[in-house]
Amino acid sequence: MTGQREDQEYYVSKNRLETLVDGIFAFAMTLLVLGINPPRPQETLATTVLPDMIASLVPQVFLFIVSFLVLALFWLDHHRQFHFVHRVDTALLWINMLLLISIVFVPFSTDLAGDYPVITDAVLLFHANMFIVGLLFAVQWCHICRHDHLCEPALDEAIKHHGFRRSLIVPAIAVIGGALSFINPPLSLMMYLVLPFSTGLLHRLPLP
Amino acid sequence: MTGQREDQEYYVSKNRLETLVDGIFAFAMTLLVLGINPPRPQETLATTVLPDMIASLVPQVFLFIVSFLVLALFWLDHHRQFHFVHRVDTALLWINMLLLISIVFVPFSTDLAGDYPVITDAVLLFHANMFIVGLLFAVQWCHICRHDHLCEPALDEAIKHHGFRRSLIVPAIAVIGGALSFINPPLSLMMYLVLPFSTGLLHRLPLP
Amino acid sequence: MTGQREDQEYYVSKNRLETLVDGIFAFAMTLLVLGINPPRPQETLATTVLPDMIASLVPQVFLFIVSFLVLALFWLDHHRQFHFVHRVDTALLWINMLLLISIVFVPFSTDLAGDYPVITDAVLLFHANMFIVGLLFAVQWCHICRHDHLCEPALDEAIKHHGFRRSLIVPAIAVIGGALSFINPPLSLMMYLVLPFSTGLLHRLPLP
Amino acid sequence: MTGQREDQEYYVSKNRLETLVDGIFAFAMTLLVLGINPPRPQETLATTVLPDMIASLVPQVFLFIVSFLVLALFWLDHHRQFHFVHRVDTALLWINMLLLISIVFVPFSTDLAGDYPVITDAVLLFHANMFIVGLLFAVQWCHICRHDHLCEPALDEAIKHHGFRRSLIVPAIAVIGGALSFINPPLSLMMYLVLPFSTGLLHRLPLP
């Protein structure tokens, strides 16, 4: 009896958690598009006004693409970390839920930063959001590394170190971006474009 | 022939029902973010006005986080109850559908309570919503306990009692919150923050 | 080679189609809640105005629940029909896609009928939508019955007849509702509440 | 050790990627319906005004159906190409992410073209979106064909050629549609209705 209850209490099916996580990622990635405000000029004016209005959407579309790629990278991080996980304990479950809250917040902060890309406060909120997501991935990885019984097979030290170094990239970029947003807000948003390259670079660095 | 039709009539695939449930939970949790109204000041005013506008979003963001965590707990409750379920009969299916209706309603009641956190009626609607969800989880658990043939292996009495006591926590908090909302509406919304601890506490209580 | 291409051409994985269908059902069911317009009175007036505003949402909430339950029944119909399906051919795929279009349209027609429940045109659009969904389910069932090689094991005649009679319930209710909407639009929307009972009733009828 | 890290680095689970892709397709297809603006006349005027307002939605509803069917075809293309894929490498992953960005953009460009179907710029954006999606499917197919070790069993030449010719249909239609949008924008949108027939036709053409 006790064994059955313990099981119920402390372990969550990895499969259903992944379904929920994938669903929320897919939805958050799709909701990003609602942040692009379609222009709605009057029909009589539309012929003359619409071309300029479409052109003025460029910063919003640009940030939409950036946010989508960053969320794709986060999804990949989740995939990579859960690749090793075999059992989900209560702590890991709640780290995931906090992660998902900050993921779901991304369409909101993207919307705001896309509407006001030159205003420090709006852009700073975006960087803060990214920092929190990145931090929670680092926390999740530390939790996985410290609780070897969740993994199968057990992680070797090289993977632990590599994963930890990788998990510091996003928080580092967010901090630099946040500092840069006081000088040049739009430029600070472009920082995230180095992400796809940074992981490739990291992989080529020699392990300590 | 009869056996085949009976099968078709009374039992639903647990797998597809879980996919639907997980999908609806994922969307409802993500839709919560649409309840936070992004400020849209004119661009000329934005530099001076936006910081205050962002600061004024704090109650909405707070309730967004509370609702997300409560939905996460509900998802976990569903997961925990369905862990034991092996077959889904018609009654269980429709209890699930009523549950999902009240889950889908959460983004709406959160939106309203987040916009008017000091007005009793708006906050009361939120508590009523949570009460109904909690009640339906209690009903679902009773149905599962009374129809042992749905489970595999059969539930032992300790798990039944424990699950039943657990299912009373949310309705109890919602009732207390509802009463409190006549005195201090914003405070009553914070009641749900005790939820993550309450389940831990319950687990440490001795079984009768 | 030909065998491989034929396979690629004519058969779609039942699993991935079900994932898409379940995802679209889950999303359409959740989107229904966006049709309930949260009242947004000014904060100074909110205390006095909000209770009446919330009360005036009752018809919208009622129709939200009706639509949700009807979509749940449609989901169940899909589940029931696909229970027998083993392979998905091109025709079945495109019947599904037409079905999904009319399912995705439900949040729109529900929104309109919920906003104007006393106007025949709005309510008629709702009935027309339900009629089309119901009709497509009947078409799908006929296609499944006529192409026995899609099923495993083959369907017996009793199941075919029973399924066909069942698939006529929703179109029949939609036609009656449509006629009734010229006399009493709000009443005609309540027709769908007989659905859960009608299937139970049908099941008790003797087979011909 | 190296083997384990390599595995982590270069290959993504095909299953979880398909779940994400199916989820995003399901949401994008459902979000299309939000592009149809429900008319909101005052209640006193509604009886006289609403019928005309509903009639004026016809172009939006028409484009909603076209976009839905095109997305369904894209989903089918993805299904067809991934039918052969056995392992997902980093390049394939990022082609997929770019594909998903352009898929998620479809509800936006549909909304705009549905609101202004007679204005070249709005319609041109729609064609450009379709062109990019089609192009990325062609790129994905080329990548799959060139990296035979991703497939199991290996693709034969006939399938490669057939798939490549098929992947050129959408870009070709988008280019013709784009050119036509300078002459007759609404007509150019109807070009996509030939798609379901074109694939059938292609299949009947003799292989070179």
The interface predicted TM-score of the complex, written ipTM, equals: 0.85
pLDDT in tens, A4-47: 444 444 568 888 899 899 999 999 999 999 888 888 888 777 78
- CA atoms lying within 13 Å on the CB side of residue B95: 19
Least confident of A177-191, C184-198, D36-50, D102-116: D36-50
Number of other residues whose CB lies within 10 A of the CB of residue A183: 9
Q: Which residues of C touch B104 (CB under 8 A)?
A: 29-30, 32-33, 68
Q: Do D54 and C100 touch (CB under 8 A)?
A: no
**Distance separating alpha carbons of residues D200 and D159, to the nearest angstrom:** 15
Q: Do C65 and B108 touch (CB under 8 A)?
A: no
The token pair that represents D85 in the structure block: 């894929």
Q: Do C46 and B116 touch (CB under 8 A)?
A: yes
Is the confidence at residue C6, as pLDDT, over 60? no
The token pair that represents D70 in the structure block: 């095109």
- Helix H segments across A147-194? 157-167, 169-180, 185-190
- Residue A75 is predicted with a pLDDT of 92
Between A58 and B204, whose confidence is greater? Answer: A58
Residue of A nearest to B67 (CA): A101
Residue of D nearest to C28 (CA): D30
User: Is C16 within 8 Å of chain D by CB?
Assistant: yes
Distant-in-sequence, close-in-space partners of A167: CB < 8 Å, separation ≥ 6: A77, A134, A137, A138, A141
CA distance A124 to chain D (A): 24
Residue of A nearest to B18 (CA): A16
Least confident of A159-168, C179-188, C191-200, D74-83: C191-200
Least confident of A8-17, A116-125, B106-115, D180-189: A8-17
The token pair that represents A99 in the structure block: 């992660």
- Residue A133 is predicted with a pLDDT of 96
Mean pLDDT along residues A68-94: 89
User: Is A165 within 8 Å of chain D by CB?
Assistant: no
Per-residue pLDDT band at C200 (split at 50, 70, 90): low
| Total count of residues recorded for chain A | 208
Between C199 and A81, whose confidence is greater? Answer: A81
pLDDT in tens, D148-170: 788 877 788 888 888 888 888 99
**Distance separating alpha carbons of residues C201 and C205, to the nearest angstrom:** 7
Number of other residues whose CB lies within 10 A of the CB of residue C45: 9
Task: Match 């036509």 to its residue by tokens.
Answer: D180
- Residue A130 is predicted with a pLDDT of 95
Residue of D nearest to C34 (CA): D34
- Residue B47 is predicted with a pLDDT of 80
Exposed/middle/buried for residue A94 (C-beta within 10 Å: 0-12, 13-18, 19+) = middle
User: Is A40 within 8 Å of chain D by CB?
Assistant: yes
Q: Would residue B200 be called left, alpha or beta, if left means φ above 0 and alpha means ψ between -120 and 50 degrees?
A: alpha
Q: Which residues of C touch D158 (CB under 8 A)?
A: 1, 5
- Residue B95 is predicted with a pLDDT of 93
Least confident of A57-61, D46-50, D99-103: D46-50
A14, A81, A156, A157, C23 from A151: Cα distances, Å: 12, 10, 11, 13, 30
- Residue A101 is predicted with a pLDDT of 95
pLDDT in tens, C115-153: 888 999 999 999 999 999 999 999 999 999 998 788 877
User: Is D201 within 8 Å of chain A by CB?
Assistant: no
Least confident of A63-72, A121-130, B4-13, C37-46: B4-13
User: Is C162 within 8 Å of chain B by CB?
Assistant: yes
Per-residue pLDDT band at D48 (split at 50, 70, 90): confident
| Total count of residues recorded for chain D | 208
pLDDT in tens, B27-69: 999 999 888 888 888 877 778 888 888 888 888 898 999 999 9
pLDDT in tens, C50-104: 888 888 888 889 899 999 999 998 998 898 888 888 888 888 998 999 999 999 9
pLDDT in tens, D122-134: 999 999 999 999 9
**Distance separating alpha carbons of residues C101 and D33, to the nearest angstrom:** 9
- Residue B193 is predicted with a pLDDT of 85
- Residue B204 is predicted with a pLDDT of 56
Task: Match 């990296």 to its residue by tokens.
Answer: D147
Q: For residues B47-64, b (16+ Cβ closer than 10 Å) or e, as one string?
A: eeebeebbeebebbbbbb
Mean pLDDT along residues A175-191: 93
Per-residue pLDDT band at A203 (split at 50, 70, 90): low
Q: Do B20 and C68 touch (CB under 8 A)?
A: no
Give the mean pLDDT of chain B: 85
Percent of chain A at pLDDT > 90 equals: 43
Size of interface B-C (CB pairs under 8 A): 85
Q: Which residues of C touch B107 (CB under 8 A)?
A: 33
Are C105 and C131 within 8 A, CB to CB? no
Nearest to B84 by CA among B140, B153, B131, B11: B153
Are A83 and D88 within 8 A, CB to CB? no
Exposed/middle/buried for residue B181 (C-beta within 10 Å: 0-12, 13-18, 19+) = buried
Is the confidence at residue C157, as pLDDT, over 60? yes
User: Is C4 within 8 Å of chain D by CB?
Assistant: yes
Percent of chain C at pLDDT > 70 equals: 89
Between A152 and C100, whose confidence is greater? Answer: C100
Nearest to A119 among B18, B46, B196 (CB): B46
3-state secondary structure chain D: CHHHHHHHHHCECHHHHHHHHHHHHHHHHHHHHHHCCCCCCCHHHHHHHHHHHHHCCHHHHHHHHHHHHHHHHHHHHHHHHHHHECCECHHHHHHHHHHHHHHHHHHHHHHHHHHCCCCHHHHHHHHHHHHHHHHHHHHHHHHHHHCHHHECCCCCHHHHHHHHHHHCHHHHHHHHHHHHCCCCHHHHHHHHHHHHHHHHHHHHCCCC
Residue type (1 letter), D165: R
- Residue D151 is predicted with a pLDDT of 84
Is the confidence at residue B185, as pLDDT, over 80? yes
- Residue D205 is predicted with a pLDDT of 52
User: Is A47 within 8 Å of chain D by CB?
Assistant: yes
Q: Which residues of B touch A87 (CB under 8 A)?
A: none
CA distance D186 to chain C (A): 21
Q: Do B9 and C68 touch (CB under 8 A)?
A: no
Mean pLDDT along residues D108-124: 91
Is the confidence at residue B86, as pLDDT, over 80? yes
Q: Do A43 and D125 touch (CB under 8 A)?
A: no
Q: For residues C56-75, b (16+ Cβ closer than 10 Å) or e, as one string?
A: ebebbbbbbbbbbbbbbbbb
Number of other residues whose CB lies within 10 A of the CB of residue C35: 23
User: Is B165 within 8 Å of chain C by CB?
Assistant: no
Per-residue pLDDT band at C7 (split at 50, 70, 90): very low
Rounded to 5°, angle at Cα B28 from D103 and D82 = 35
Nearest to B115 among C36, C40, C196 (CB): C40
Q: Do D54 and C122 touch (CB under 8 A)?
A: yes
Is the confidence at residue D105, as pLDDT, over 50? yes
